[in-house]
Amino acid sequence: MAELPEIELLRQKLRRNILHKRVGVMQMQNAKGEALPDGAGIEDAALKGRAITDLHRYGQYLFLELDRKDILALQLGGELSGELERGPVHAEGGEEPRAAALEIQINGQQRLRFQGTQLSNRLRMLDENSDVDFLTKLGPDPLMVHGEGLGILREALSRRRSALRNILLDDAFAPGIGGTWADEILFQARLRPDRTATSLSEEERERFLEQIPKVLDRAVRCQAKTNLLPKTFLTRHREDGHCPSCGGALETLSVGGKNALLCPACQS
């Protein structure tokens, strides 16, 4: 499952490897490995042979700028993840499929592979006349908010009344965080996931906001790998089920219909 740190790491990898290279064929296949010629909703002629001139990320969206000023927008996150692999796009009947996938050939030597559900709905071709209303509904990118920039999140939080974990998972507040890192942010802030925004003291509110970019930055610097995270991180102890601070048993709590992981003692 791709969350914001993983998506940022993919962006960094793609910038190192595919800038100024040309797009080849694009193929979508279902979980049975059957090719879906029209599944992506974008004609091959719109992409084939075009150079990738720049690459950006905002929240869970990756934007591949192409020559002639078009942009290929890819929405990751949730059950959809992406990876850059060696080799051409798989032909039908080739490698055993792992899931429904969209593959884009790069320079005939690499493939940008996306796996997950609702692939065709996650891919858009944008030009200067495209409707980008979907982007205006996103909150500030939480990896880009530091220092005085936290004021944007502070103002957004002041208008919220729901549980803190639900707020973290709301793309209109801060897009792309995901459940794993929402749990980590709340653990580092020592706040229960079902606490409401209106119940926070000023000190708790600042602690909560400061941990959002701090935790995500650390996750990126650790390559989002569990074993590289600090031993004080909850995420390192999801498997053993014990709090890294007090040693007590971790518990799950249903918040907004989704399970949150917490230490009931440290996040009282």
Higher pLDDT, 175 or 28: 175
8-17, 82-91, 143-152, 229-238: least confidently modelled range? 82-91
The predicted-structure confidence for 226-268, as pLDDT tens digits, reads as follows 999 999 999 999 999 999 999 999 999 999 999 999 999 999 8
The closest of 265, 209, 207, 203 to 234, measured between CA atoms, is 265
Task: Answer whether residue 189 shows pLDDT above 90.
Answer: yes
Query: For residue 16, how many C-alpha atoms fall within 13 Å in the half-sphere facing its CB?
Result: 7
- Identify the pLDDT of residue 93: 47
**CA atoms of 41 and 74, how far apart (whole Å):** 13
More confident residue, 153 or 91: 153
- What is the model's pLDDT at position 177? 95
**Residue 181, number of CB atoms within 10 A of its CB:** 23
Give bridge partners of residue 74 from the DSSP assignment: 62, 123
β partners of residue 104: 26, 112
> Rounded CA gap, 201 and 191, in Å?
11
Cβ within 8 Å of residue 155, ≥6 positions away: none
- pLDDT band, residue 96 (cuts 50/70/90): low
Residue range 108-135, pLDDT digits in tens: 889 999 888 778 788 888 988 898 998 9
Cα–Cα distances (Å) from 42 to 62, 64, 120, 170, 232, in that order, read 17, 14, 9, 29, 46
Strands 251-255, 81-86: pairing is unpaired
pLDDT value at 84 more than 80: yes
pLDDT value at 99 more than 80: no
Largest Cα separation within the chain, whole Å, is 59
pLDDT band with cut points at 50, 70 and 90 for residue 1: low
Domains of the chain: 4-126 (3.20.190.10), 147-262 (1.10.8.50)
Q: Could you read off the pLDDT of 136-171 as tens digits, one per residue?
A: 999 999 999 887 778 999 999 999 999 999 999 999
Of the candidate ranges 3-12, 55-64, 86-95, the one whose mean pLDDT is the lowest = 86-95
Mean pLDDT over the full length of the chain: 90
Q: What is the pTM of this model?
A: 0.90
Give the pLDDT band (50/70/90) at residue 102.
Answer: confident
Query: So what's the pLDDT on residue 10?
Result: 95
